[in-house]
Amino acid sequence: MTNKIKKVQVKDLRKWRNYGPWSATVQFSTEYILVLAVILERYNEFNKTMEYQEKNISKRKIDIANQFLVVLDKHLTELKTGQVEKSLELNEIAELLFIAPNHMSDTVSEVFGKSPCEIYENKLVEISKEMLENSTTPINEIARTLDYDPSNFTKFFKHFTGLTPSQYRKSKTGNITI
């Protein structure tokens, strides 16, 4: 049972524990809902597995694609927090996974239906949006934090969102910081 389901269970049971004759019914209903939630979770996992099997995607390829995401997410977190100053290139990620760059690219594309570069860019855009919305850090600092030249960062961001970073920030916060 996942932590999310356990939290719902504990919260619901505390809430309804002392409500007289209805408590047993409510507790039964809560347990029933939890069982349905677990069944739904298993069903979704099964469907995902079936999709991969229909596409004839091996478990090893799924593992490689998931490892790519783990390495990428870890790196982007380190980049965002300033623990590293330079972005990894896709061939460096492949090196960390001990596989050839072409094999990684083909595998990730096959499993996720998107190229590693597209996934990387989408994650960078999401991090950029988060940083623009949740901080007053100047845009040129955000660009440098994400290993971009400020003018290239503006072009990159506008390409994916249709807005410049300052326009995006203004639309979300009402503040412009350059």
The domain limits of the chain are 4-54, 57-173
Residues in Cβ contact with 101 at an 8 Å cutoff, skipping those fewer than 6 apart: 90, 91, 94
Percent of the chain with pLDDT over 90: 58
Closest-CA residue to 61 (of 131, 121, 113): 113
Classify the C-alpha dihedral 60-61-64-66 as positive or negative: negative
- Per-residue pLDDT tens digits for 5-58: 444 444 454 554 555 554 555 455 666 677 777 787 777 776 666 666 667 888
CATH code: domain 57-173 is 1.10.10.60
Task: Tell me what pLDDT residue 84 has.
Answer: 93
Q: Tell me the pLDDT tens digit for each residue of 122-153.
A: 999 999 999 999 889 999 999 999 999 999 99
| Residue 70: burial class (beta carbons within 10 Å; 0-12, 13-18, 19+) | exposed
Q: Which residues of 3-27 are buried (b: 16+ CB within 10 A; e: fewer)?
A: eeeeeebeebeeebeeeeeeeeeeb
- Digit-coded pLDDT (tens) for 93-115: 999 999 999 999 999 999 999 99
The whole-model pTM stands at 0.68
